[in-house]
């Protein structure tokens, strides 16, 4: 049986950067808190826990003083930094540089559009950590839409600038962009070519994996997709693989693998999400090799 681990799977730059920053601080013997799960992968969180990383929620964060807290790749709203300053908390900044740049762009545009009666619209998942951080740049005044049903929130008679959570599906973003454009055009009072600007802020490291995974999934008899169950990116990329290869199985650890899946199988492909550590992909490979 030939087993191939997808070389493009595993941590994206933002997640890898955050994990490396956390590891460096922990190996220096510092006590570090992570505001929220540093990565949506239970196995990796457990590994970092064994090194001393303590995961806390926002309520616990507000009760801390005189300590060090890591901001994970998803980023945080301005209020978090304000609380840190008030409580003498040292922030270890691990926000993904792409997310950090997007936060600044949204903040600057929101301040400008307030004077022009315009609207900042963010396409994202309600409650997602990155979205909370992005909305916070606008004092939560931006319009959050998660799908076609939310388009009604937008006033077609006022200028619109559209941004996206970095981990949304590019195809879904393009559909939403088209719906907004058509709504403004049908209303007729504004020219959408001038009053509507759509910024494609879906991360290339996420969107570029989809076409690659389609080809990878088609090249093997079965696919083992490895991801944490809470990873939105993992759920999306799993669906991509499943649509190409019905014999695609979602697992979070070697213990979830069923030996019967491999009966009569000659080729197995192993791949994962942007939040899946490389060591876990290799562990899954080794487990299957021993079947």
**What is the pTM (predicted TM-score) of this model?**
0.90
Is the domain 13-96 a CATH 3.80.10.10 member?
A: no
- Sequence-distant (≥ 6) Cβ neighbours of residue 103 within 8 angstroms: 75, 95, 133, 134, 137
State how far the Cα of 279 lies from the Cα of 131, in Å rounded to an integer. Answer: 29
112-168 tens-digit pLDDT: 999 999 999 999 999 999 999 999 999 999 999 999 999 999 999 999 999 999 989
DSSP state of 88: T
Q: Cβ distance 83 to 62 under 8 Å?
A: yes
CATH code of 2-9+207-289, in short, is 3.40.1010.20
5-44 tens-digit pLDDT: 999 999 999 999 999 999 999 998 889 999 999 999 999 9
User: 169 pLDDT exceeds 90?
Assistant: no
pLDDT class of 188 with cuts at 50, 70, 90: confident
Q: Is the dihedral of CA 206, 209, 211, 213 positive or negative?
A: negative
Active site residue 23: no
pLDDT class of 189 with cuts at 50, 70, 90: confident
Q: What are phi and psi of 248, to 5 degrees?
A: -110, 130
What b/e sequence results for 211-244 when a residue is b if at least 16 CB atoms lie within 10 Å of its CB, and e otherwise?
eebeebbeebebbbbbbbeebbbbbbbbebbbeb
User: 74 pLDDT exceeds 90?
Assistant: yes
194-214 tens-digit pLDDT: 999 999 999 988 888 989 999
User: 54 pLDDT exceeds 90?
Assistant: yes
State how far the Cα of 163 lies from the Cα of 196, in Å rounded to an integer. Answer: 11
One of 3.40.1010.20, 3.40.980.10, 3.40.220.10, 3.30.420.10 is the CATH number of 98-165+168-201, namely 3.40.1010.20
Range 73-98 average pLDDT: 97
Q: What is the pLDDT of residue 289?
A: 95
Q: Cβ distance 107 to 142 under 8 Å?
A: no
Domains 2-9+207-289 and 98-165+168-201 share a fold: yes
Continuous H helices in 115-249: 129-136, 170-187, 192-195, 204-207, 209-218, 232-244
204-257 tens-digit pLDDT: 888 889 899 999 999 999 999 999 998 888 998 999 999 999 999 999 999 999
List the domain boundaries for the chain: 2-9+207-289, 13-96, 98-165+168-201
Query: Which of 130, 169, 230, 247 is an active site residue?
Result: 130
User: 176 pLDDT exceeds 90?
Assistant: yes
């Amino acid at each position: 049986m030939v087993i191939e681990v997808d070389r493009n799977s595993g941590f994206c730059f933002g997640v890898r950067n955050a994990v490396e920053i956390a590891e460096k601080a922990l190996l220096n013997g510092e006590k570090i808190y992570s505001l929220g799960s540093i990565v949506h992968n239970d196995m990796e969180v457990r590994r970092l826990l064994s090194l001393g990383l303590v995961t806390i929620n926002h309520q616990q964060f507000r009760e801390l003083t005189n300590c060090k807290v890591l901001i994970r790749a998803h980023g945080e709203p301005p209020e978090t930094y304000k609380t840190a300053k008030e409580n003498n908390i040292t922030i270890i900044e691990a926000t993904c540089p792409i997310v950090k740049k997007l936060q600044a762009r949204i903040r600057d545009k929101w301040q400008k559009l307030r004077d022009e009666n315009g609207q900042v619209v963010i396409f994202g998942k309600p409650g997602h950590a990155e979205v909370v951080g992005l909305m916070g740049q606008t004092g939560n005044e931006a319009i959050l839409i998660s799908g076609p049903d939310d388009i009604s929130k937008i006033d077609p008679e006022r200028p619109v600038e559209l941004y996206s959570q970095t981990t949304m599906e590019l195809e879904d973003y393009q559909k939403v962009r088209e719906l907004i454009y058509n709504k403004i055009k049908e209303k007729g009072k504004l020219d959408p070519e001038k009053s509507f600007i759509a910024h494609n802020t879906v991360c290339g490291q996420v969107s570029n994996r989809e076409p690659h995974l389609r080809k990878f999934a088609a090249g093997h008899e079965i696919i083992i997709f490895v991801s944490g169950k809470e990873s939105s990116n993992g759920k999306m990329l799993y669906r991509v693989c499943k649509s190409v290869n019905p014999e695609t199985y979602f697992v979070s650890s070697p213990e979830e693998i069923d030996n019967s899946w491999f009966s009569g199988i000659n080729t197995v492909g192993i791949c994962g999400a942007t939040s899946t550590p490389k060591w876990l992909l290799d562990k899954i490979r080794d487990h299957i090799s021993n079947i």
